[in-house]
Structure 1
């Protein structure tokens, strides 16, 4: 099967599993940093974080619930293999979100560091999944589909979506946290914009 991101050798199942473990753990670690600092970010992660401040559900559980319609879209738009891997990644993130707090406790995270570090590691986690033909669901499915079908850079599209999410958060968060949330979303999307370009990665 030819990779939508360029020709190359197929990744083994072991490599896929390893990439999923890395990607899911990085995403959850970034979410923990942002949640502790009271920030949001872009994409479905940002939506889940924002809602977690408004309803009595954890970001991990909200992440899965929000993802359901996007996962259904992924089956039609990106194919069953991508949809299956994205579903596994989505539930993997939920599983890591329930396990990591029991092995790693964050008592304090400086908000500026949380914005930069949290956004960056979430972006690296998404990148790890994307290079193995998977996404985290949510808006990531839309951006990867646009890149695959239209050649539109995923990072640039994600920045526009993230801007709308962060703008919405300004109605619920203090202005300084809304600004830091924008910085976090920029850090996350910049990882995809710089490192997830067609032709740069030959495996799949």
Structure 2
């Protein structure tokens, strides 16, 4: 029986994620026919053509069952265990939320609906992925195809499958909703990245100077950040200089630039964006849960 259970933290992440996904689908996407790919998108189409006889929750569950059976045969139960929780919880939450009145039903701005729906779904998927699970559907189908046909890349497979579903949605709801569904997909993708990368923007700074020790000490004393020092040699001048590497938050950039100018006005400084920071001094700042 232990094989059926997952860690409490992972379960809470999946529960939170699937709730947000379900809210995005039921309150924003489904009411105006925004088919943004995936099994849920197919569910929106089926719910429409059957006049609500087959709800999205049923389509989500039924379509995923054969995918899980195949995946278990290919890779074993441990590979899909967390995803099984995600699919079951998604179907349950879709059914529960469908029972409540939609507070956004009178929102007739399709762009705002696409933006909020895509954001909720993207954030929800991000939380599910952080738990180590997937929401099944197109990504699992892509993994199955990849297992049998290794030459096909998963991202292109997922894109192709979602594109087919979006086209089906276009013939069902029209071109305008399909166009906005694509906007929703882009917003959803960006939201997923934000959650997976921690949503924390930092800056990597390289400082080439002759006063490495003084600048490193000043960074530690005034900005309270650690740094790494190493030697470098100029390609043309052949001069040996010190290179300092540090990572700081965006709001600390002006302070660091002024500090460097005070210590060594001739220092050469480069500042680059950092998409994710993991390690001492940044872990607590980045933690979402």
What is the TM-score with the length of structure 2 in the denominator?
A: 0.56
Partners of 2:76 and 2:196 in 1: how far apart? 20
Report if the CA contact (8 A) 1:119-1:184 is conserved: yes
Displacement of 1:190: 4.0
Listed one character per residue, the Cα deviations across residues 129-160 of structure 1 (whole Å, up to 9, x for unaligned) are: 122221111112145676xxx7x986665334
Structure 1 pair 159–119 and aligned structure 2 pair: CA distance change class (3 A): farther
Partners of 1:160 and 1:190 in 2: how far apart? 19
Structure 1 pair 24–93 and aligned structure 2 pair: CA distance change class (3 A): same
1:81 alignment partner, one of 78, 81, 97: 78
The aligned counterpart of 1:26 is 20
Report if the CA contact (8 A) 1:40-1:184 is conserved: no
More RCO (CA 8 Å, sep 6+): 1
Gaps of 5+ in 1: 1-11
SS in 2 for 1:170: helix
Partners of 1:192 and 1:78 in 2: how far apart? 26
Structure 1 pair 153–120 and aligned structure 2 pair: CA distance change class (3 A): farther
Partners of 2:153 and 2:101 in 1: how far apart? 35
Displacement of 1:25: 0.3
Report if the CA contact (8 A) 2:126-2:192 is conserved: yes
The aligned counterpart of 2:39 is 44
Tell me, yes or no, if structure 1 residue 165 matches structure 2 residue 165. yes
Higher strand content, 1 or 2: 2
Q: Mark the structure with the bigger radius of gyration.
A: 2
The aligned counterpart of 1:181 is 181
Gaps of 5+ in 2: 1-5, 198-275, 279-289
- How many residues align? The count is 188
Higher helix content, 1 or 2: 1
Listed one character per residue, the Cα deviations across residues 4-23 of structure 1 (whole Å, up to 9, x for unaligned) are: xxxxxxxx812111101111
Displacement of 1:98: 2.0
Structure 1 pair 181–62 and aligned structure 2 pair: CA distance change class (3 A): same
Equivalence map 1:104-123=2 (5 Å) = 105-106=102-103, 107-109=105-107, 110-123=109-122
